[in-house]
């Protein structure tokens, strides 16, 4: 009985945290886009760097949600699917960090 309750609690808490992290990532993307548009109107020369940093932060939240999602998977196909998403998001994060370093050098 206690183990079933703990399992249910873990699943519910993980689901909640996954949704929360996803929402945080979406919020960061939205704020970054609005801020980027404002900087575009002001002709800010660092607009690209600021956009990349915001997207990198958002991807970190989204990557965290995918990692948490692995806690509650039940089938191997889910593990493979989530693993593919993690690899793609990690790759995007790497590319964005590379772009940030390139922008900072210029």
53: Cβ contacts below 8 Å, ≥ 6 apart: 100
- Listing DSSP states for 44-97 in one string gives -TTHHHHHHHHHHHHHHHHHHHHHHHGGG--SHHHHHHHHHHHHHHHHHHHHHH
Q: For the chain, what is the domain count?
A: 1
Cβ neighbour number for residue 69 with a 10 Å cutoff = 21
Per-residue pLDDT in tens (0 to 9) along the chain, 106 residues = 888 999 899 999 999 999 999 999 999 999 999 999 999 999 998 898 899 999 999 999 999 998 898 888 888 888 888 889 889 988 988 888 898 888 888 7
Question: Residue 36's domain spans which residues?
Answer: 2-105
DSSP state at residue 22: H
Quote the pTM value. 0.80
């Amino acid at each position: 009985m206690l183990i079933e309750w703990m399992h249910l609690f873990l699943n519910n808490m993980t689901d909640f945290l996954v949704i929360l992290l996803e929402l945080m990532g979406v919020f960061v993307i939205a704020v970054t886009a609005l801020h980027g548009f404002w900087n575009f109107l002001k002709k800010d020369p660092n607009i690209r760097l600021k956009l990349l940093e915001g997207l990198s932060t958002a991807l970190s939240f989204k990557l965290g949600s995918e990692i948490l999602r692995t806690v509650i998977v039940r089938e191997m196909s889910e593990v493979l699917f989530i693993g593919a998403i993690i690899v793609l998001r990690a790759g995007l994060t790497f590319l964005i960090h590379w772009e940030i370093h390139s922008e900072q050098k210029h």
